[in-house]
Amino acid sequence: MKNLAVLGFVLLSSVPVLADCPLPMVGGERIAVRYVPVSKNYEKTMKAFEANFEGHIGYIGTQMQAGMIESAGPYYTEDGKMNGGTGIYNTTDFAKVRELVQQDPVVAKKVFKPELHKWMQCSLPVAK
């Protein structure tokens, strides 16, 4: 039994952590920010979001124009209610993203709480 435990450890410790996408895919690491509603009260969240919507969209647009955010958008529940969102940042620098995301009005006003995750963006190359 002890030999099986040692073998299991050796096998698991030899599994590579992906530094790049497996071939034939292309891509690389990014930071995904999940915007999680702070309040469990949907109406309260939507009222606060609407009050900060223009500032949030302005922030996202500015970061996209600067090349920091690659893509962003909301989540919706099955019944069509908006329920947070995600922004994909073109960096692996957590400190930089933490600093930037605090400038987003919906985070600064505590409408949404940011969760930062390292994310491997992989896709098949586009045929030309």
Residue 128 lies inside a defined structural domain of this protein: no
Instruction: Please answer whether residues 105 and 49 qualify as being in contact, where contact means their C-beta atoms are separated by less than 8 angstroms.
Output: no
Which pLDDT belongs to residue 12? 40
How many independent structural domains does the chain possess? Answer: 1
30 is a domain residue: yes
Domain that holds residue 97: 2-123
Task: Confirm whether 95 is domain-assigned.
Answer: yes
**Low-confidence stretches of the chain (pLDDT beneath 70):** 1-19
3-class secondary-structure state, position 110: coil
Q: What is the pLDDT of residue 14?
A: 42
Query: Is residue 12 one of the residues assigned to a domain?
Result: yes
Residue 98's pLDDT is 97
74-103 burial, b for 16+ CB within 10 Å, e for fewer? eeeeeeeeeebbbbbbbbeeeeebeebbee
What is the per-residue pLDDT for 19? 62
pLDDT in tens, 52-70: 999 999 999 999 999 999 9
Q: What is the DSSP letter of 125?
A: P
Burial status of residue 37 (CB atoms within 10 A of its CB: 0-12, 13-18, 19 or more): buried
Answer yes or no: is 39 within a domain.
yes
The predicted-structure confidence for 105-118, as pLDDT tens digits, reads as follows 999 999 999 999 99
CATH number of the structural domain spanning residue 18: 3.30.70.1060
CA distance 69 to 35: 14
